[in-house]
Structure 1
Amino acid sequence: MVNQTDSDNFPPLGAVSSRRPRSAASAFSASSASSASSASAHAEGVHETHKRLRGEAMRWSAASLDDRERKSVFSGDIPGLGVVVPGQQILVEEGCMRGHGTYEKGGKIFAAVCGILEKVNKLVYIRPLRSRYQGSVGDVVVGRVTDILNGKWLVDVNSGQAACLALAAISLPEHRRRLDEDMLEMQNFFVVGDVICCEVQRVRADGQILLHTRSTRYGRLMNGVFLAVAPQQIQRQSHHIVQLSCGVQVVLGLNGYIWISLPMKTSAKDTMNYAHVQTTHEKVSKEMRLAISRVRNIVLCLARSNFDISTQTIERMYDVSVSRGWEAKDLADPLVMQELVEAFLVARLGKDA
């Protein structure tokens, strides 16, 4: 008897089986479809996550909008409260007028520049942290002659445009009248490249500054070094042409230009105005050169440390540098400069206390 179990379970040789093996192409298609479906599911999950996060962000934004608005509003009741940034709303009392550095939108006042909020009576304005010199009548400035035109000199005073010093705005020798020959010989007074000290006479509507040198204190500067800092760092004081206790004379121009030199020799008869007559180069001793260099480095240290530059601060830092035994060249070292600032603050707090 033949056992039918094996023949029934397995087909004979050569017969086609109903259960065909899967080809490589079909396997690849199946795997691709599976990958695509998983990628699609992952993309949908990422999209849902992003959608949920956006919803949470919008809900947080709506919930904290009032807080952020309160933080972006700056109160202008007290002058000098702090620094404002462009676009920040400024709250002022009723009846206040907006000044420089502000603009009005929708009945509200906003800051147009980054600076310090100031208030004078009913006027609210912003004093920029860094800006060009604007000019004010009576300011003592230091400038450099850049060009000679018909009856006037153009002077660089760190402003938006060149200042003008007219021939009629200087004192001629022996206070004589101006003649036509003086206009032809303007180079006998000031030439291009001369550093001069002068005073602001008037500011035009277009912003140009008009200068004059009708004083024995003003005129050509010599026997010294030139230094430029930010105009906002020069502290306004009663005298801007001062002689320090070390014998060095400093001209603190309100436009940010500073001249450090030997003391000027002036009198009621001799003035600084005449570039090639009274003012001449002098021989500077080694001690005075070192003193001038020390004062220069001290002014640079004050400027880089964002201190107000005045006669008092220069004198105090000068005394501190001498007491510590630092030489003039040592003050150019950043590490020594940092130590000098710390010692200056300690001495300043001790004297103020």
Structure 2
Amino acid sequence: MTTMQRELRLSLNQTQRVRLQSALQQLEEMTSLASAITVVADTIPVNHEDSILKGHGTSDLNGEVVATLCGVVERVNKLVYVRAQRARYKPEVGDIIVGRVIEVAPKRWRLEINFSQDAVLMLSSMNLPDGLQRRRTAVDELNMRSIFVENDVICAEVRGFQHDGSLHLQARSQKYGKLERGMLLTVPAYLVKRRKQHFHHLENYGVDLILGSNGFIWVGEHVDMNGENHILADQVSREDMADKSCVGQVTQEVHERITPLEIRTHICRVANSVRVLSALGFNLTVEVIVDTVEASISLNTDIKDILAAEFYVQTAEREVQRRVSLSRKKG
């Protein structure tokens, strides 16, 4: 049994075990051919006459450039470095991340973002529910819990590291903010590559998919950017909530906006597809995720059976066919 099979902990019969092992071996060979895989102490071939620059994951040993990490050799002009294939998340300015609130502190929220330290979202960096651009007042600070509370899931953007070493976020756009009526998934951050678009609306399923660069993935009911689908309770201030008639209106609105069963079914199907791809170690892109969802539907696979051994094997075999097809088109 291969390492991947042990990690998956699947109950495979003999045929499934052979099929999965064959598919994973083919994928490994394709990856090795597509990129210069190196291990620790491997010599990296370079032209010393070009005055190359040794970057991260490299060292000088007896006049040769050797790798100090397992990964892929990358070259940018004269810079040579090794990119680790299974590195932990390292925030960069502009990253789209998904986090969970763990503390409401004075003028700030503290979030868990799958990093070595927590992130901070300042009240001044937050788009207020009323949508007005103004200075934050003492009343705003008192009403912070009407915006986010502990365990709320939030989408935000990495603003950068401050002078005190803390990681700061910002959420000054309507596309950022609280995420509701959905499911939060955690995957290895290296499976989510940085792209121009991390927000995806899967129209056929009425589902929003947010691929957080930090490895937190959100799958939830589609929300109109104009805010029409937001629950009224998020738009009502603390003072308004004191009015009993308003409370009744909010309660009625919440009941009216319960996520339909069909949408919940689609959310679970997309989420299970992400779990399968993550367990197999495949890069998570919207194209691959949608392809896996559509495959489960075309094969009449129940939602619970997506996590069964046979669908794992079929997904691995389908990935082999996809990569073979891509290589033929390039050729």
The TM-score normalised by the length of structure 2 is 0.74
> How many residues end up aligned between the 2 structures?
274
Q: 1 or 2 for the larger relative contact order (CA 8 Å, sep ≥6)?
A: 2
Partner SS for 1:346: helix
Spell out the pairing of 1:163-178 with structure 2 (5 A cutoff). Answer: 163-172=119-128, 173-175=130-132, 176-178=134-136
Partner SS for 1:153: strand
Q: Counterpart in 2 of 1:337?
A: 312
Spell out the pairing of 1:298-337 with structure 2 (5 A cutoff). Answer: 298-337=273-312
CA distance in 2 between counterparts of 1:252 and 1:131 reads 17
CA distance in 1 between counterparts of 2:124 and 2:114 reads 23
Q: Does 1:110 align with 2:66?
A: yes
Structure 2: tracts of 5 or more residues without a match: 1-32, 237-252
CA 1:174–1:295: 2 relative to 1, 3 Å? closer
Q: Counterpart in 2 of 1:294?
A: 269
CA 1:274–1:107: 2 relative to 1, 3 Å? farther
CA distance in 1 between counterparts of 2:40 and 2:208 reads 40
CA drift at 1:345:
4.0
Spell out the pairing of 1:150-229 with structure 2 (5 A cutoff). Answer: 150-172=106-128, 173-175=130-132, 176-204=134-162, 208-229=166-187
From 261, 265, 273, the counterpart of 2:220: 261
CA distance in 2 between counterparts of 1:254 and 1:315 reads 19
CA distance in 1 between counterparts of 2:68 and 2:232 reads 45
CA distance in 2 between counterparts of 1:284 and 1:276 reads 17
CA 1:348–1:130: 2 relative to 1, 3 Å? closer
Q: Does 1:134 align with 2:93?
A: no
CA distance in 1 between counterparts of 2:110 and 2:287 reads 33
From 208, 221, 234, the counterpart of 2:192: 234
CA distance in 1 between counterparts of 2:63 and 2:233 reads 56
CA drift at 1:263:
0.3
Deviation beyond 6 Å, 4+ runs, structure 1: 269-275, 278-281
* Residue type at the aligned position of 2:71: G
CA contact (8 A) 2:232 2:254 kept: no
* Residue type at the aligned position of 2:79: L
Cα deviation digits, residues 54-91 of structure 1 (max 9, x gap): xxxxxxxxxxxxxxxxxxxxxxxxx9733222333333
CA drift at 1:204:
4.6
CA contact (8 A) 1:142 1:253 kept: yes
Structure 1: tracts of 5 or more residues without a match: 1-78
Partner SS for 1:318: helix
CA drift at 1:225:
0.6
CA distance in 2 between counterparts of 1:292 and 1:303 reads 16
Cα deviation digits, residues 205-240 of structure 1 (max 9, x gap): 786432100000000111001111111111333221
Q: Does 1:249 align with 2:208?
A: yes
CA contact (8 A) 2:103 2:150 kept: yes
CA drift at 1:273:
12
Rg larger in structure = 1
CA 1:270–1:294: 2 relative to 1, 3 Å? closer
CA contact (8 A) 1:189 1:275 kept: no
* Residue type at the aligned position of 2:97: V
CA distance in 2 between counterparts of 1:109 and 1:270 reads 58
Q: Counterpart in 1 of 2:44?
A: 90
Partner SS for 2:180: coil
CA drift at 1:348:
6.4
The TM-score normalised by the length of structure 1 is 0.69
* Residue type at the aligned position of 1:86: V
